[in-house]
């Protein structure tokens, strides 16, 4: 089958009014990726060499979005919504290019996996003209039933048209099918709209193919694979299923999740073996965690790279561009953005490091801030290897702290500091004996006077 070419036609023209959103339904995200992009990924993993997206509502918005996750996909607009077969034929130009296999999929089924699609394609390779993917829901009520005879699929019957005996069938239509490319257009063109709704139904090609003596079969996938999304409640259900799958994959790959149900991954999260993730950690898009790292509770990581044996959190935020080298530490209530924390460096407490480099083995004291923004532009702070920055210091960029430099606590540093130099950037302390007692007595007397006046 690896030699066979395959076109995936993804139907994504539905308006999704039940989502109560101005955005096209299939652009709503699962794990940070539009649900239609999940469908595209599954198709590509199943060997699709061509992609045709049939779009409608929000066509311009869809085209822009598709460019990001499927730049080679062809887009076709279904001007009028006249049924599923009509939607597939909107991609006639792509179908006519002579692909061996045609996969027909829906953009709102983000949990479909490549194995289910590959199984349907395999049936085509074995000689079937049509392979329909079926599933067994907890209750078949409301679903079209797959009517089989002697191992062949002879019809897809909508529930309202089922006999009492057929309603007992638990094998239902997932809506996804594979069609042999050499038969696809001929079968689709024979679909008519002589039905109550006056629409062209894709499911009709099952009986059309059977009438022509072509082999039609059904394959079975899990209920989750067929789950379609129509509203935000179902979107949340799909997110939960996706997350559960991903957590299990991570744990089986050697990652420790102490409270798996509280950890959230994005579609592209990479996390190495022997990493420990504590409860309530959120991984946004673009995160790569190497082996042996420890991510403490309540950390929020997005667009960041964390090398092996790093220590992050608790309550740490790594924003896009954060790059932690081996054995670096970013501690509690710290934020790092567009900055490199080099090997063995420590950013321990209540600190903001942005647009900066923290050199190897440097130590950043609590409450340190790199002042990188003047309201118009961003500026860089470079902190050298082995430098020590005392607590509650402000480093006003652009500024360089040299290798081994030492910044006294409470300093505001506006000029670069040479290697191994000590820098103070604070007002000189003045001590007045007895003045503290005098101030307390004065303040206490004033407070008592205010209280007496209020009582009168």
Domains by residue range for the chain, with CATH: 6-226 (3.90.550.10), 232-423 (2.160.10.10)
Q: Higher-confidence residue: 178 or 81?
A: 178
Which of 28, 38, 57, 349 is catalytic? The answer is 349
CA distance 35 to 107: 7
Query: Residue 329 pLDDT > 70, yes or no?
Result: yes
Please state, as a whole number, how many other Cβ atoms lie within 10 Å of the Cβ of residue 10. Answer: 28
Average pLDDT, the chain: 94
Q: Higher-confidence residue: 48 or 455?
A: 48
Give the largest Cα separation in the chain, rounded: 107
Do residues 234 and 169 touch, judged by C-beta distance below 8 A?
A: no
What is the average pLDDT across 280-285? 98
- Tokens 């505001």, residue located: 412
- How high is the pLDDT of residue 304? 98
What is the average pLDDT across 100-114? 95
Q: What is the pTM of this model?
A: 0.88
What is the average pLDDT across 226-255? 96
Query: Residue 71 pLDDT > 80, yes or no?
Result: yes
What is the average pLDDT across 86-102? 96
pLDDT tens profile 3-61:
899 999 999 887 778 889 888 889 999 999 999 999 999 999 999 999 999 998 777 88
Q: Higher-confidence residue: 455 or 370?
A: 370
What is the average pLDDT across 220-237? 92
Catalytic residue list contains 28: no
CA distance 309 to 316: 16
- Per residue in 353-389, is it b (16+ CB within 10 Å) or e — as a string? bbbbbbbbbbbbbbbbbbbbeeeeeebbbbbbbbbbb
Tokens standing for 297?
């509770």
- Tokens 């209020």, residue located: 454
- How high is the pLDDT of residue 2? 58
Do residues 199 and 115 touch, judged by C-beta distance below 8 A?
A: no
Query: Residue 456 pLDDT > 90, yes or no?
Result: no
- How high is the pLDDT of residue 294? 98
CA distance 21 to 61: 13
Alpha-carbon distance values, 52 to 40, 106, 114, 226, 418 (Å)? 10, 11, 17, 20, 60
**pLDDT-based confidence at 195, cuts 50/70/90?**
confident
**pLDDT-based confidence at 1, cuts 50/70/90?**
low
pLDDT tens profile 382-394:
999 999 999 999 9
- Tokens 């959103």, residue located: 21
Handedness of CA 36, 38, 43, 47 (dihedral sign): positive
- How high is the pLDDT of residue 275? 98
pLDDT tens profile 366-411:
999 999 999 999 999 999 999 999 999 999 999 999 999 999 999 9
CA distance 268 to 38: 11
9: helix, strand or coil: strand
């Amino acid at each position: 089958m690896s030699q066979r070419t395959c076109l995936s036609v993804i139907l994504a023209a539905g308006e999704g009014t039940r989502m109560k959103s101005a955005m096209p339904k299939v652009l709503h995200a699962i794990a940070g990726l539009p649900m239609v992009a999940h469908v595209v990924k599954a198709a590509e993993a199943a060997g699709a060499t061509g992609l045709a997206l049939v779009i409608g509502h929000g066509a311009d918005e869809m085209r822009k979005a598709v460019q990001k996750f499927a730049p080679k996909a062809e887009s076709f607009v279904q001007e009028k919504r006249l049924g599923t077969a009509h939607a597939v034929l909107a991609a006639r130009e792509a179908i006519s290019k002579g692909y061996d296999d045609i996969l027909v999929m829906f953009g709102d089924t983000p949990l479909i996996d490549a194995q289910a699609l590959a199984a349907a394609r395999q049936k085509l390779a074995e000689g079937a003209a049509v392979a329909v993917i079926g599933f067994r829901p907890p209750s078949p009520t409301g679903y079209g039933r797959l009517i089989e005879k002697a191992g062949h699929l002879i019809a897809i019957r909508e529930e309202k048209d089922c006999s009492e005996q057929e309603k007992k069938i638990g094998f239902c239509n997932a809506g996804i099918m594979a069609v042999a490319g050499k038969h696809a257009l001929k079968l689709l063109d024979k679909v008519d709209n002589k039905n109550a709704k006056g629409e062209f139904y894709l499911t009709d090609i099952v009986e059309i193919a059977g009438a022509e003596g072509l082999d039609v079969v059904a394959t079975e996938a899990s209920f989750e694979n067929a789950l379609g999304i129509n509203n935000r409640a179902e979107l949340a259900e799909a997110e939960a299923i996706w997350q559960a799958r991903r957590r299990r994959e991570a744990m089986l790959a050697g990652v420790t999740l102490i409270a798996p149900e509280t950890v959230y991954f994005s579609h592209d999260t990479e996390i190495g073996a022997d990493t420990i993730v504590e409860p309530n950690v959120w991984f946004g898009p673009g995160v790569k965690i190497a082996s042996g790292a420890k991510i403490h509770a309540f950390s929020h990581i997005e667009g960041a790279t964390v090398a092996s044996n790093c220590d992050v959190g608790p309550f740490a935020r790594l924003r896009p561009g954060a790059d932690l080298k081996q054995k670096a530490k970013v501690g509690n209530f710290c934020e790092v953005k567009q900055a490199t924390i080099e090997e063995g460096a420590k950013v321990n407490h209540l600190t903001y490091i942005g647009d900066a480099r923290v050199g190897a083995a440097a130590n950043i004291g609590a409450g340190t801030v790199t002042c990188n923004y003047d309201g118009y532009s961003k500026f860089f702070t470079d902190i050298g290897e082995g430098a020590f920055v005392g607590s509650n210091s402000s480093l006003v960029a652009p500024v360089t702290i040299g290798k081994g430099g030492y910044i006294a606590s409470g300093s505001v540093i506006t000029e670069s500091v040479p290697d191994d130099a000590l820098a103070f950037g604070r007002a000189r302390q003045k001590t007045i004996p007895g003045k503290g007692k005098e101030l307390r007595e004065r303040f206490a007397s004033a407070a008592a006077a205010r209280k007496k006046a209020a009582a009168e």
